[in-house]
Structure 1
Amino acid sequence: MELSPSAYVDTFCRDRLPPFPLWPELHFDLPELHYPDRLNCAQRLLDDAVSRWGADRPCLLTPTERWTYGELLCRANQVARVLVEDFGLRPGNRVLLRGPNNPWLVATWFGVLKAGGIAVTTMPLLRATEIAALYAMSRPAIAVCDYRYLDELAAADIPGLAVLAYGGPGDLDLTRRSAAKAADFTAVDTAADDVALIAFTSGTTGRPKATLHFHRDVLANADTFSRHVLRPRQDDVFTGTPPLAFTFGLGGLVVFPLHVGAATLLVEQATPRQLAELVAEHGVTVLFTAPTAYRAIMSAGVVDLLAGLRRCVSAGEALPAAVWEEFHAATGLRIIDGIGATEMLHVFISAADDDIRPGATGKPVPGYRAAIVDEEGAPVPDGQPGLLAVTGPTGCRYLSDPRQTAYVKDGWNLTGDTYIRDQDGYFWYVARSDDMIVSSGYNIAGPEVEKALATHPYVEECAVVGAPDSQRGTIAKAYVVLRPGAAADDATVKALQHHVKQTIAPYKYPRAIEFVTALPRTSTGKIQRGELRERARKATG
Structure 2
Amino acid sequence: LFKKYNITTFCAPPTMYRFFIKEDLSKYDLSSIEYATTAGEALNPEVFNQFKKATGLTIMEGFGQTETTLSIANFVGSKPKIGSMGRPSPLYDVVLLDADGNECKTGDTGEICIRTKEGAPCGLFTGYYKDEEKTNDAWHDGYYHTGDQATMDEDGYLWYVGRIDDVIKSSGYRIGPFEIESVIMELPYVLECAITPVPDEVRGQIVKATIVLTKGNTPSDELKKEIQEYVKTHTAPYKYPRIVEFVDELPKTISGKVRRVEIRNKDLQK
TM-score surpassing 0.5? Answer: yes
Say which SS state the counterpart of residue 337 (structure 1) adopts: strand
- Superposed CA deviations along residues 134-170 of structure 1, whole A, max 9, x for unmatched, are xxxxxxxxxxxxxxxxxxxxxxxxxxxxxxxxxxxxx
Shift of 1:421: 0.7
Residue 7 of structure 2: aligned partner = 284
Residue 331 of structure 1: aligned partner = 55
> What is the distance in 2 between the residues matched to 1:415 and 1:521?
30
TM-score (norm 2): 0.61
Residue 18 of structure 2: aligned partner = 295
What count of residue pairs does the alignment treat as equivalent?
Answer: 188
More helix as a share of residues = 1
> Mind listing any 5+ residue stretches in structure 1 that lack a counterpart?
1-277, 437-464, 480-518, 523-527
State which of 403, 423, 426 in structure 1 corresponds to 2:154. 423
- Change in Cα spacing, 1:411 to 1:395, as seen in structure 2 (3 Å) is farther
More strand as a share of residues = 2
1:48-447 equivalences under 5 Å are 278-302=1-25, 304-344=28-68, 346-352=69-75, 353-391=77-115, 392-396=121-125, 397-401=127-131, 402-435=133-166
> What is the distance in 2 between the residues matched to 1:377 and 1:360?
24
Say which SS state the counterpart of residue 413 (structure 1) adopts: strand
Shift of 1:364: 0.6
TM-score (norm 1): 0.32
Say which SS state the counterpart of residue 367 (structure 1) adopts: coil
> What is the distance in 2 between the residues matched to 1:423 and 1:306?
36
Does the CA-based 8 Å contact 1:292-1:473 persist in structure 2?
A: no
> Mind listing any 5+ residue stretches in structure 2 that lack a counterpart?
116-120, 168-176, 210-240, 246-270
| Percent of residue pairs bearing the same amino acid type | 28
> What is the distance in 2 between the residues matched to 1:341 and 1:364?
14
- Change in Cα spacing, 1:282 to 1:535, as seen in structure 2 (3 Å) is closer
> What is the distance in 1 between the residues matched to 2:150 and 2:67?
18
Say which SS state the counterpart of residue 355 (structure 1) adopts: coil
State which of 194, 207, 232 in structure 2 corresponds to 1:474. 194
Larger radius of gyration: 1
Shift of 1:355: 2.1
> What is the distance in 2 between the residues matched to 1:394 and 1:473?
33
Shift of 1:330: 1.6
Does the CA-based 8 Å contact 1:286-1:312 persist in structure 2?
A: yes
Shift of 1:359: 0.9
Say which SS state the counterpart of residue 281 (structure 1) adopts: helix
- Superposition CA RMSD, Å: 3.0
Say which SS state the counterpart of residue 32 (structure 2) adopts: coil
Say which SS state the counterpart of residue 472 (structure 1) adopts: strand
- Change in Cα spacing, 1:476 to 1:420, as seen in structure 2 (3 Å) is closer
Shift of 1:475: 7.1
